[in-house]
A and B are shown apart, each in its own frame.
Chain A
Amino acid sequence: MSLAKSPWIIHVNVNSCNGCDIEVVACLTPLYDAERFGVLNIGTPKQADIMVVTGSVNYKSVNVLKNIYNQIPDPKVVLAVGACASTGGIFHDCYNVIGGVDQVIPVDAYVPGCCPRPEAILDGVVAALSILEEKKKGNIKGKEVKLKGNEVPSNA
């Protein structure tokens, strides 16, 4: 069966202002209804095919992002939603921001906008589907991303 007919997505918020997140969730609700493409939002990375990332990466969330990426089975596609996830967006100059998601993990498709409209996000998901299919055919595997030591301290 074709994988692209029923992709499961995991939504990861790393450092976003929530604007993109609520639009991603809005995609799954009745008006935009991503489920008609077979898309299902799933909480666990182990069962996901597409990783939807919102927000720029900061020093604390970088390991969370890498961890989740490493846990997704191959083939996997990463979709960066919003200006923040693509380049760092309006926050690119802030002291605690590393930059866009592609500084940390490989990204396959970008959705521009601050925040992008649900139609644009759906378009991105559909674009991700064909990439997913190609990756499956070519048996392309995502690289394991290394964690950078003890970045997250144990608090208090």
Chain B
Amino acid sequence: MPDNVIQNITEIKSMPEVLKAVEGMKGDGYRYVTMICLKANEGHELIYVFEKDDKLKHLRYFVKPGEKPKSVSGIYLCALLIENEYQDLFGLTFEGLAIDYKGHLYLTPNSPKTPLA
């Protein structure tokens, strides 16, 4: 297998299934590492990264344009920072965030809006 693709990745089609999969991860004793957000075909691509016994596992999900993904901060509290970051940088809206900074985690009303979008 070439080095420059991510291994151990599962693609998931719908948001409720993502939540179910993440809950399953927590049940299996995985640690939440981070989430990566990319621009992809008008929408966004989210890659959730988990770790257990030094092995990484990934979930991939495509956010359609205009779709509001659900927050996983109810399952893993630590997800709240990274989700708030993407609200700032990509202009996404996560539903059900534990603490919602409303796009002002890093940015102020004067700074550029959604710089990475």
Contacts and interface: CB of A to CB of B under 8 A. Distances in A.
Interface in B85-117: 99-102, 104-112, 115
A95 B99 CA distance: 26
Contact of A150 (B101, B102, B109): B109
B115 A59 contact: no
A58 B110 CA distance: 10
Query: Which DSSP category, helix, strand, loop or mixed, fits chain A's interface?
Result: loop
Interface in A89-111: 95-96
**Chief secondary structure at chain B's binding surface:** loop
B104 A155 contact: yes
Contacts of B111: 58-60, 95-96
Contacts of A1: none
B112 A153 contact: no
B108 A153 contact: yes
Contact of A59 (B101, B105, B108): B108
A151 interface: yes
Contacts, number: 34
Contacts of A151: 108-110
Size range of the chain B interface in the assembly: 10 to 19
A153 B99 contact: no
Interface string A139-153: 000000000101111
B115 A95 contact: yes
B104 A96 contact: no
Given A95-B115, A96-B115, A59 B110 contact: yes
B106 A155 contact: no
A96 B101 contact: no
B115 A153 contact: no
Nearest to B111: A59
B99 to A, nearest CB: 6
A156 interface: yes
9 contacts: A59-B110, A60-B108, A95-B111, A148-B110, A153-B104, A153-B108, A155-B101, A155-B104, A156-B101
Interface of B: 99-102, 104-112, 115
